[in-house]
Amino acid sequence: MSTVRTPTRLRILAAATDLFGLRGVDAVSLDVIANEVGVAKQTLLYWFASKDELLAAVLLEAANELTVVIEAAVRASTDDPLDRIDAVVRAVFRPAVRRPALLGLVREVSRVPEEVGARLTGQLQLLASRAADYLGQEMDAGRLRRADPGLIAALSYATVTGIATEPAVLRVNGWEPTPAGLRHLRDELRGFLRAALAP
């Protein structure tokens, strides 16, 4: 109950992102979103002309959030190879940890106009390829045991996507989709990368 309230439009966007990403667009009605935000359904339709337009806005916003993550990863670079690996791993996992629904939105890309969907998939691609590039550099420098960096990144990416999209997937593997659980997974992957370091 702060005096300065987040603008309605942003609150709608945030709630829709989480609900769409976690449950899927078809499973979430405008009423549910409005209820979550604490406004009437018509307030939603004032800010976004239709459900489709709301989804498009959500995907664009997600793409923007990912841009921020990627740019932060670009800036993060130290001389310690382990730290640098950690930075990349963090860059790949952070969206899943901070906003599990973000990557789950990939599921809905086909519903929006192509240029909108391309923004999101483009950012995800960038995230994956940046990780691949970095791992490739480490290998070239002899600090990482050589393997297919694209595959490693793809596996990481698929893991992240799988986690973000399907909490059930996580449970199948015996993990709980909590921040702590995701941290544990990140540590495991980090250990995997550390083990891959050239002896």
Partner DNA sequence: TCCCCTGTCTACCATATGGTAGAGAGCCTA
Partner DNA sequence: TAGGCTCTCTACCATATGGTAGACAGGGGA
- Sites of contact with its own copies (CB under 8 A): 24-27, 106-107, 109-110, 121, 124-125, 128, 146-148, 151, 154-159, 161-163, 165-166, 168-169, 171-174, 188-189, 191-192, 195-196
189 binds, among DNA, its own copies, none (CB under 5 to 8 A by kind): its own copies
CB atoms within 10 A of CB 74: 12
Identify the helix (H) or strand (E) that includes residue 49: none
41 binds, among DNA, its own copies, none (CB under 5 to 8 A by kind): DNA
Positions in the binding site for DNA (CB under 7 A): 8, 28-32, 39-43, 45-47, 49-52
The length of the chain in residues reads 199
Look at residues 75, 71, 79, 37 and name the one whose alpha carbon lies nearest to residue 54: 37
31 binds, among DNA, its own copies, none (CB under 5 to 8 A by kind): DNA
CB nearer to its own copies: give 27 or 141: 27
CB of 112 to its own copies, least distance (A): 12
Q: Which three-class secondary structure string do you get for 143-181?
A: CCCCCCHHHHHHHHHHHHHHHHHCHHHHHHCCCCCCHHH
CB 44 within 8 A of CB 33: yes
168 binds, among its own copies, DNA, none (CB under 5 to 8 A by kind): its own copies
